[in-house]
Amino acid sequence: MGATNKARLAVLASGNGSNFQAIIDACEDGRLDAQIVLLIVNRPSAYALERARAHGIATQVIDHKAHPDREAFDAVLAEAIDAAHPDWIIMAGFMRILTDGFVNRFLGRLINIHPSLLPKYPGLDTHARALGAGDRAHGATVHFVTPTVDAGPPIVQGQIEITPDDTVERLKQRIHGIEHCIYPLAIEWLIEGKTDFDRASAQTNPAVVDASGAQIVPPRP
By annotation, the residues acting in catalysis are 114
HSE-up (13 A, CA, CB side) for residue 150 = 17
End-to-end CA distance of the chain: 26
In terms of Cβ atoms closer than 10 Å to its own Cβ (0-12, 13-18, 19+), residue 210 is middle
The Cα–Cα gap between 92 and 165 comes to: 28
The dihedral region occupied by 151, where left means phi > 0, alpha psi between -120 and 50, and beta the remainder, is alpha
The DSSP 8-state label assigned to residue 220 in this structure reads B
In terms of Cβ atoms closer than 10 Å to its own Cβ (0-12, 13-18, 19+), residue 211 is middle
Do 121 and 133 contact (CB within 8 A), yes or no? no
HSE-up (13 A, CA, CB side) for residue 161 = 3
Four-residue CA torsion sign, 98, 104, 106, 111: positive
